[in-house]
Amino acid sequence: MSILAKKRGLSALALAAVLGLGAAPVAMAQEKVSTVVNTMQIFSSLDPAKVTDYTGYMAVVNMYDGLTTVAPSGEIVPHLATSWDISEDGLTYTFHLRDDVTFQDGSALSASDAVWSIQRLLKINKGPSNLLVDLIDPANVTAPDATTVEIKLNRPFSPFLASTPILLVLNQKLVEANATADDTLGEAYVGDNSVGSGPYSLVSYNRSADMVIERNPDYFLGWDKGTPIDEVRFVQTSDDATVRALAEKGELGLSSHGLGNDTFESIGNMPGYKLLQTRTAGGFQIKLNTKVYPTDDVHVRRAIAYATDYETIQEIIYPGVPMHGPLSDTFETAFNTEIPTGVYDLEKAKEELALSKYAGEDITLVNSYVASLAFEQEVALLMQANLAQIGITLDIRPEPWNRIVELASNPDTTPASTQVNVSPSYPSPDSMFFNQYHSKASGTWWSMEWLQDPEIDALIDQSRAQTDPAEINATYKELQQSIYDLQPAVWAVAPMRRYAANACLQGYEFRPMQSWDLNFWNFTWECPSN
């Protein structure tokens, strides 16, 4: 048996070698390591001030450096800044930058670039800035000297430090050289180019199809982890068959994590491939729009929650672990252990429905999901079958992702229920609470619940103003209970994040912030000996 297996592995290797595939495990060090990475969505922008989605962050984290970065533990650790001080009142943050960092064009990175970049982020006021806009006045971001950045907050805000990894630094001179009169912030240029100091620079970028980045040999952190990956070719496809074909040819370095379960299994079983599996801080939810029929009634929302077959979702459709309400238990200190996991109980679902204002009516529930995601269709069909038994007709509406984003901008167009995967955008429970449930964050795909509840808003504000970690965590626990009581979503599963990866790809570690786990500087290319 083992002989057979070995033989097969050998012949696969031989075949790959014969075909001369770029990603074939080649031991020769001088050969350029180039690999293909599959993304679910297109790179709609490369501008660090504009990216909003997982794919966009994957691009910027490789091309730019932030003041800080996040460790696998979720801790904020030094990056461009070697250290920082926080004033007593919690208002002033002083970052001490390294002096040995150069941009990809060779010019030196200075504190003024960081200040300009943060101000630019605030001025553009899109994507990542929603957290910071009314927290920081652009004038209060200053550079007392070439290696010091001082940021003065308008009010104490405890999660601020957790958001500093997204304060990515752009090459001010280069951007300004390419800015125009109507585009003083160089949005057009930054959207299509890499103007940072990051480990990879842009080779080619085609908005609708693909992107290629190559290693920045002068990266300030060096390349001493092992054989680095020299070139990454991103291929956008949500078609499982295409990804599988890439793997069969040995070209695939890393898949997206949005493939169908079966695809992961089958690629994982191919010789030369492995399956990466990790816990995440996020959750797969069915967001319920609390502003429209029929999910404006909490009893209907609870009925839907009771009609969800958690076990089938967690075990078959989208493997993962149960969730306890809105916050992942990976946030150990903030997590409220008293909140139970979801229960599949059609009788209770019927009871809840009977309490609702729509009791006795034929209820139709719209359910949207990302059309290209196979597992979400399966979840929809599962929900449809279960809800049918309590008298709710599920109107399944697969939509392209950009359409969902568009629908989310208005409570009337936001579907009554939408399947989304949510992960913290910065490593703090605040990311989950504020982005999804605070009134000020309304109008994005994060907040399709349209909760807009004053009590919840107050609790979030309270947590942000507190400085004592214990107090903050107490507020977080209260928040979880309040949100759980409103049931603005069905927290279906904390999915295991899975990637199908080439066996040669080493160094993957989960980091609880956007795509910070896919900074290719962390990876090496070491093929296991057979």
Partner 1 sequence: MAEVKMALDGANKDLSASYMMWYRFSRNPAAVIGTLIVLSAVIFAILAPYITPKPEDVGAVVNFRARHLPPDATHWFGTDKVGRDIFSRAVFGLRISLLLVIGVLGISVPIGTVLGLAAGYFGGWTERIITGLTNVMLAMPPLVMALAVSNLLQPTLMNAMIAITLLWWTWHARLIYAVSKSVASEDFIEAARIAGAGPMHILFREILPNCVSVISVKTTLDAAFVILFGATLSFLGFGVKPPTPDLGSMVADGRQFMPDFWWEVLCPGAVILYVTLGFNLLGDGLRDMFDMEG
Least distance between partner 1 and beta carbon 380 (Å): 7
Q: What angle do CA 460, 464, 465 make, to 5 degrees?
A: 120
Q: Does 398 bind partner 1 (CB under 8 A)?
A: yes
Amino acid identity of 96? H
Which of 122/374 has CB closer to partner 1? 374
Q: Does 385 bind partner 1 (CB under 8 A)?
A: yes
Q: Does 448 bind partner 1 (CB under 8 A)?
A: no
Residues 365-384 that bind partner 1 (CB under 8 A): 371, 374, 377-378, 380-382, 384
| Cβ partners under 8 Å of residue 364, min gap 6 | 294, 392, 393, 394, 395
Least distance between partner 1 and beta carbon 257 (Å): 16
Amino acid identity of 339? I
Q: How many CA atoms lie within 13 A of 407 on its CB side?
A: 22
Which of 304/387 has CB closer to partner 1? 387
Q: Does 239 bind partner 1 (CB under 8 A)?
A: yes
Least distance between partner 1 and beta carbon 317 (Å): 7
CA–CA gap between residue 529 and residue 231 (Å, rounded): 23
Least distance between partner 1 and beta carbon 378 (Å): 6
Which of 61/365 has CB closer to partner 1? 365
Hey, how many other C-beta atoms are within 10 angstroms of the C-beta on 322? 17
Q: Does 80 bind partner 1 (CB under 8 A)?
A: no
Stretch that binds partner 1, among 85-93, 106-114, 389-397, 465-473 (CB under 8 A): 389-397
Q: Does 269 bind partner 1 (CB under 8 A)?
A: no
Q: Does 493 bind partner 1 (CB under 8 A)?
A: no
Which of 372/481 has CB closer to partner 1? 372
Residues 26-65 that bind partner 1 (CB under 8 A): none
Least distance between partner 1 and beta carbon 266 (Å): 6
Of the candidates 48, 250, 260, 320, which one interacts with partner 1 according to CB under 8 A?
Answer: 260
**DSSP character string of 167-234:** -BPP-HHHHHHT-BTTBTT-HHHHHHS--S--SEEEEEEETTTEEEEEE-TT-TT-S-SSS---EEEE
DSSP state of 248: H
Of the candidates 68, 263, 308, 475, which one interacts with partner 1 according to CB under 8 A?
Answer: 263
Contact 472, 158 (CB under 8 A): yes
CA–CA gap between residue 185 and residue 47 (Å, rounded): 11
Least distance between partner 1 and beta carbon 56 (Å): 24
Q: Does 314 bind partner 1 (CB under 8 A)?
A: no
> In what helix (H) or strand (E) does residue 380 lie, and over which residues does it extend?
helix 374-389
CA–CA gap between residue 443 and residue 407 (Å, rounded): 9
Name the packing angle between helices 240-248 and 261-268 (round to 10°).
Answer: 0
Least distance between partner 1 and beta carbon 387 (Å): 8
Q: Establish whether the linkage from the previous residue to 469 is cis, with ω within 30° of 0.
A: no
CA–CA gap between residue 403 and residue 342 (Å, rounded): 29
Least distance between partner 1 and beta carbon 240 (Å): 4
Q: Does 240 bind partner 1 (CB under 8 A)?
A: yes
283 alpha-carbon distance from chain centroid:
11
Stretch that binds partner 1, among 54-62, 387-395, 432-440, 445-453 (CB under 8 A): 387-395
> How big is the site for partner 1, counted in residues (CB under 8 A)?
27
Least distance between partner 1 and beta carbon 447 (Å): 25
| Cβ partners under 8 Å of residue 224, min gap 6 | none
Per-residue binding letters, 319-358, with partner 1 (x by CB under 8 A): ----------------------------------------
Closest CA to 434 of 422, 445, 446: 446
Stretch that binds partner 1, among 37-45, 162-170, 347-355, 386-394 (CB under 8 A): 386-394
Least distance between partner 1 and beta carbon 255 (Å): 13
Of the candidates 177, 209, 316, 458, which one interacts with partner 1 according to CB under 8 A?
Answer: 316
The residues that bridge with 491 in the sheet, in sequence order, are: 285
Of the candidates 51, 317, 327, 339, which one interacts with partner 1 according to CB under 8 A?
Answer: 317
Q: What angle do CA 49, 55, 59 make, to 5 degrees?
A: 60
Closest CA to 37 of 463, 520, 383: 520
Of the candidates 145, 388, 458, 467, which one interacts with partner 1 according to CB under 8 A?
Answer: 388
Q: Which residues bind partner 1 (CB under 8 A)?
A: 239-241, 260, 262-263, 266, 312, 316-317, 371, 374, 377-378, 380-382, 384-385, 387-388, 393-398
